[in-house]
Amino acid sequence: MKIWKQTLLASAFAMMGSLSIMASETHVVHANMMDFDPVVVKINPGDSVQWTNMSTHNVEMMEGLIPEGQEAFTSPMSQNFSHTFEQEGIYIYQCTPHIGAGMGGAVIVGEPTNLQVIKDAGVRGGLGRVVRQAIAAAEEM
């Protein structure tokens, strides 16, 4: 009887792990001439974002505009790229060569835990439009 309970418990934990793996999704962001589509993507922790059509683009996460404790990264130029997001919060990114034209985006993972930090950053210029869209999307949640 004891072995049966242990087996049942082990099976239940294995099944829960499988469900969480199956539940993760990949969200696609397409790079157009001078913008990302969609500009703001909302995902769950454990989901991935794949940036496609990156012929002359990259993804540069902006230091200070990502959740505390997360390391900013820059994808290779001109290569499709995928990243899995584990920590909740808002992640603001730009295309380094085209930010002057406003080419950037935001990933909102779960709850927007760093919303106030993003609001207080006072971002202007090409990235300001992206930040305003991310704030509006986060406030609708």
| Distances, alpha carbon 36 to alpha carbons 29, 41, 93, 106, 134, in Å | 6, 10, 10, 10, 13
pLDDT in the model for residue 21: 55
pLDDT in the model for residue 134: 97
Residue 83 annotated as lining a ligand binding site? no
pLDDT in the model for residue 12: 47
Start-to-end CA span in the chain (Å): 48
pLDDT in the model for residue 8: 40
Residue 95 annotated as lining a ligand binding site? yes
pLDDT in the model for residue 126: 86
Residue 1 annotated as lining a ligand binding site? no
pLDDT in the model for residue 138: 97
CB atoms within 10 A of CB 99: 18
Q: Give the C-alpha separation, 141 to 136, whole Å.
A: 9
Q: Which two tokens stand for residue 8?
A: 């049942």
E strands present in the chain: 26-31, 36-37, 40-43, 48-52, 60-61, 81-84, 89-94, 104-109
Decide if domain 25-139 falls under CATH 2.60.40.420: yes
pLDDT in the model for residue 1: 53
Residue 15 annotated as lining a ligand binding site? no
Listed as ranges, residues in the chain with pLDDT below 50 are 4-5, 7-20
